[in-house]
Structure 1
Amino acid sequence: MPLERTYANNRILVTGGAGFIGSHLCEKLLAEGAEVICVDNYFTGSRRNIAHLLSNPLFEAMRHDVTFPLYVEVDAIFNLACPASPIHYQRDPVQTTKTSVHGAINMLGLAKRLGARIFQASTSEVYGDPLVHPQPEEYWGNVNPIGIRSCYDEGKRCAETLFFDYWRQHQLPIKVARIFNTYGPRMQPGDGRVVSSFIVQALKGDPITVFGDGRQTRSFCYVDDLVEAIAKLMLTDETVTGPINVGNSSEFTIRELAEKIIKFTDSRSQLVFKPSPEDDPKQRRPELAKAKALLDWEPKVALDEGLKETIAYFRRTLELI
């Protein structure tokens, strides 16, 4: 049976493989002996993220949009394709919803044809602006279905529905992870996410833009920890479907994050406060009991350590721009 506790000698499809998280996942799978097909339409992904992998004979990069069917032969599928930052997913909200929904339908159809295991990268955004804190997987969320973030939030919620209906109706082996705020090298400088935005502003000496009063909270997971978790989830037995929260349970205010970044960059940037965007969550922190119990996993990289690695990456990146 493929994927029995190992990726070695298996062919794995990663959609969104040239993206921030996807490129790190491709690296990990190759390091564990898998053959990797990376699919991306480069709407937010970048060939620069996978350039160092192109010479590997076990790696193949394919330009493709998952809203169209794909016909390949693989043992397992990681479905990560979808713009994940508000700036990007609000640029073309109809396409964002189509990527989540049509993309899920096409990848589930491929998995069904092949009898392959399939992973869905869902998101903490399915909880919306939560009324329960921290957020357990059993919480149904508090989501605006017609707001400016709905293309992403509801698209991901619908994708989860499709995955669980394929599991119930077709006994398809599925894995669903709800990914909380993740950061690290290969984030895009202009993606509008709080970590990348603050770092770029601090390195340039520009004012750091804090939306709201800065007291809203987030938990930040370093990308290496995140990839370790989803790789472990895919190798669990078929009784483990998820959804499983994956993230870091250490909680910080946005103001605390900004002050750490100013300190680590030795920046003279000052904080500038602006009104909160529509439907911006006031707090976000995962309940990780399931991840610890089912995956024997918990994050290892502290925020200070991860920020220093990420800042070093952005220093190099900004020198090239």
Structure 2
Amino acid sequence: MLGLAKRVGARFLLTSTSEVYGDPLQHPQVETYWGNVNPIGVRSCYDEGKRTAETLTMDYHRGAQVEVRIARIFNTYGPRMCIDDGRVVSNFVAQALRKEPMTVYGDGKQTRSFQYVSDLVEGLMRLMEGEHIGPFNLGNPGEFTMLELAKVVQETIDPNARIEFRPNTEDDPHKRKPDITKAKELLGWEPKIPLRQGLPLMVSDFTKRIFGDHSDAKPSATSTATGTGSS
């Protein structure tokens, strides 16, 4: 894709990831932080793959004058996600709707930051339309433990939804939170939709796709989905 961008003179967008920071020793993470990544760990194909992609992107920019932009995307959620993609928000929502236990790995104290998809799209558009290469952290600084996320899902879908603990996965980052100072200053961007406002929109979409038009089979998520308290 970089070769194609060079040939046709296109502006190239690399959607990188917060995973480039690995299990960070710096919190929150700023773009100048080089990360703490296990190069031979079970997650390294993704971590190091994205780090290599950033390297190639900058090499094409410096060596071939390709116009590039780099976004480091933090956890994003919203309607139209794959229901069984294995991501924590879609896992919890699908499990709660199906009356299955929400699976929490480890002690549930590891943290992530969750941004609604429309906030991410706005950030990517501003990045592509602007003059700054990046990398830019694009994420919501609101930080939740996995247990806190599970409780928000309970509030939104079913107060009686159960939580089931399982052994943690190898090299699971303990903390993840973006410092978005650079995006605020250079892109004029910051997320607007808190988790408790965005999650019901995702729940509504998942409910329709899991249960179809059989309204009598749907859990009563609508009454609790109206709360839009700040996350």
Matching residue within 24, 31, 36 for 1:130: 24
In the alignment, structure 1 residue 118 sits paired with structure 2 residue 43: no
Q: CA deviation at 1:305?
A: 0.6
Distance in 1 between the 2:86 and 2:76 partners? Answer: 13
The C-alpha deviation readout for 1:292-321, integer Å capped at 9, x for no partner, is 011101000011011110111100110249
Query: Contact 1:202–1:268 at 8 Å: present in 2 too?
Result: no
Please give the secondary structure, in 2, of the residue aligned with 1:252.
strand
Distance in 2 between the 1:207 and 1:217 partners? Answer: 20
Please give the secondary structure, in 1, of the residue aligned with 2:107.
coil
Distance in 2 between the 1:208 and 1:162 partners? Answer: 39
Distance in 2 between the 1:233 and 1:307 partners? Answer: 25
TM-score by length of 2: 0.90
Please give the secondary structure, in 2, of the residue aligned with 1:272.
strand
In the alignment, structure 1 residue 248 sits paired with structure 2 residue 140: yes
* Corresponding position of 2:117: 223
Q: Which amino acid in 2 is paired with 1:137? A: E
Distance in 1 between the 2:12 and 2:42 partners? Answer: 29
In the alignment, structure 1 residue 268 sits paired with structure 2 residue 160: yes
* Corresponding position of 1:293: 185
Structure 1 residues 134-283: aligned runs within 5 Å: 134-237=28-131, 240-283=132-175
Distance in 2 between the 1:229 and 1:294 partners? Answer: 11
Distance in 2 between the 1:161 and 1:320 partners? Answer: 45
Distance in 1 between the 2:161 and 2:99 partners? Answer: 5
Query: Contact 1:130–1:142 at 8 Å: present in 2 too?
Result: yes
In the alignment, structure 1 residue 308 sits paired with structure 2 residue 200: yes
Q: CA deviation at 1:181?
A: 0.3
Query: Contact 1:198–1:261 at 8 Å: present in 2 too?
Result: yes
The C-alpha deviation readout for 1:195-242, integer Å capped at 9, x for no partner, is 0000011011111110011111111000000010001100112xx111
Query: Contact 1:129–1:280 at 8 Å: present in 2 too?
Result: yes
Distance in 1 between the 2:201 and 2:16 partners? Answer: 26
Structure 1 residues 53-132: aligned runs within 5 Å: 107-132=1-26
- Runs of 4+ in structure 1 deviating by more than 3 angstroms, as ranges, are none
Q: CA deviation at 1:266?
A: 2.1
Distance in 1 between the 2:79 and 2:147 partners? Answer: 22
Q: Which amino acid in 1 is paired with 2:56? A: L
Q: CA deviation at 1:269?
A: 2.0
Distance in 2 between the 1:109 and 1:188 partners? Answer: 31
Distance in 1 between the 2:155 and 2:66 partners? Answer: 49
The C-alpha deviation readout for 1:158-210, integer Å capped at 9, x for no partner, is 00000000111011110000000000011111111110000011011111110
Q: Which amino acid in 2 is paired with 1:148? A: V
Distance in 1 between the 2:80 and 2:24 partners? Answer: 29
Of all paired residues, the percent bearing the same amino acid is 58
Distance in 2 between the 1:153 and 1:186 partners? Answer: 25
Task: Count residues in correspondence.
Answer: 213
Q: CA deviation at 1:267?
A: 4.8
Q: Which amino acid in 2 is paired with 1:246? A: L
Distance in 2 between the 1:207 and 1:247 partners? Answer: 28
Q: Which amino acid in 2 is paired with 1:253? A: T
Distance in 2 between the 1:267 and 1:236 partners? Answer: 44
Q: Unaligned regions of 5+ residues in structure 2, if any? A: 214-231
Distance in 2 between the 1:232 and 1:155 partners? Answer: 25
Please give the secondary structure, in 1, of the residue aligned with 2:12.
strand
